[in-house]
Structure 1
């Protein structure tokens, strides 16, 4: 007979009462980080739509297949960010790294944008990224997002 999996956050192994794997509830930091990542994914999806529209309408490009590849990358990164947001919201451990990398990319794009004279666009990239980075290292967020994605019990 197999035993049910034990959550490392819940030392008693008591998951009765419908409280789920996280009896204390979802921290506000997880909600904010997930929202920031979803908004970034939606922005990439809008950019991919605009890029695809420009590509279909006959905008001049140096390489058609290079433009198709760029469109594919925009769509893939958007899907990846949606997955990061969903699984971070559920409390998995692996999306924390993905969210951190995405925020570091936002910082590397946001600073040149800000110093290039596009203050509002730069701040729109920098402020949410900085907030998400700070919240990613909050102890409540780390404690909540520590679930491993192991296999279900064999028996």
Structure 2
């Protein structure tokens, strides 16, 4: 059974099916936010906060004169930490809103965390390794949950070309 086409600029009619979420500008239905989306968003935001704290600690160490091989290399590393933190915050915000591109970005971030967490765990840093591996593994599993996939399918609205 198909529905007739609907102009997204028109107000919704009273004949819409109950329980269907509000229509987005691109026509996709956006239902209630699943708890799994909130969990993945919190994991990604926590990782962004950890990177931001690492950048602040790195900057403090540079300010107090800790020895480094290359000052500008250290400044570049601090800039990378800040940039990745900002990127992860953006991923968390747009994943919470339900944008499609954020699932791939969150997955890549979790794979990077896994590549750091496994060596940390195997080198004897059990607590630090588990603190990285468990949230990352949870986020990866939840990213492939069917409700997360269906919720995070929103595309960016664009204006017509002509």
**TM-score, length basis structure 1:** 0.86
Q: Deviations over 1:88-140 (max 9, x none)?
A: 00000001011000000010000000011110110000000000000000010
Structure 2 runs not aligned, ≥5 long: 1-5, 10-14, 24-28
Structure 1 residue ranges without an equivalent (≥5): 6-12
Please state if 1:136 is matched with 2:140: no
Structure 1 residue runs of 4 or more that deviate by more than 6 Å after TM superposition: none
- Given that 1:92 and 1:149 are in contact with CA atoms closer than 8 Å, whether structure 2 keeps it comes out as yes
Which of 17, 20, 23 matches 2:22? 20
Which of these residues, 3, 10, 27, is aligned with residue 7 of structure 2? 3
Matched, 1:104 2:111: yes
**Residues 48 and 74 in structure 1, CA contact (< 8 A), matched pair in contact too:** yes
> Aligned to 2:120, which of 113, 117, 121?
113
Contact 1:4-1:153 within 8 A present in 2 as well: no
- Give the structure 2 partner of residue 8 of structure 1: none
Deviation of 1:15 after TM superposition, in Å, equals 9.8
Structure 2 counterpart SS, 1:129: helix
Q: Is the 8 A contact 2:30 2:151 kept in 1?
A: no
- Report the counterpart of residue 67 of structure 2 in structure 1: 60
RMSD of aligned residue pairs (Cα, Å): 2.5
Structure number with bigger Rg:
2
Tell me, yes or no, if the aligned pair for 1:91 and 1:146 is still in contact at 8 Å: yes
**How many residues in Structure 1 have an aligned counterpart in Structure 2?**
146
- Residues in 2 aligned to 1:35 and 1:15: alpha-carbon distance in whole angstroms: 32
| CA distance in 2 between partners of 1:121 and 1:20 (Å) | 42
C-alpha separation between the residues in 2 aligned to 1:53 and 1:128? 28
Q: Is the 8 A contact 1:52 1:71 kept in 2?
A: yes
C-alpha offsets along residues 53-111 of structure 1, whole Å, 9 cap, x if unaligned? 00011101000110010000000000000000000000000010110000000100000
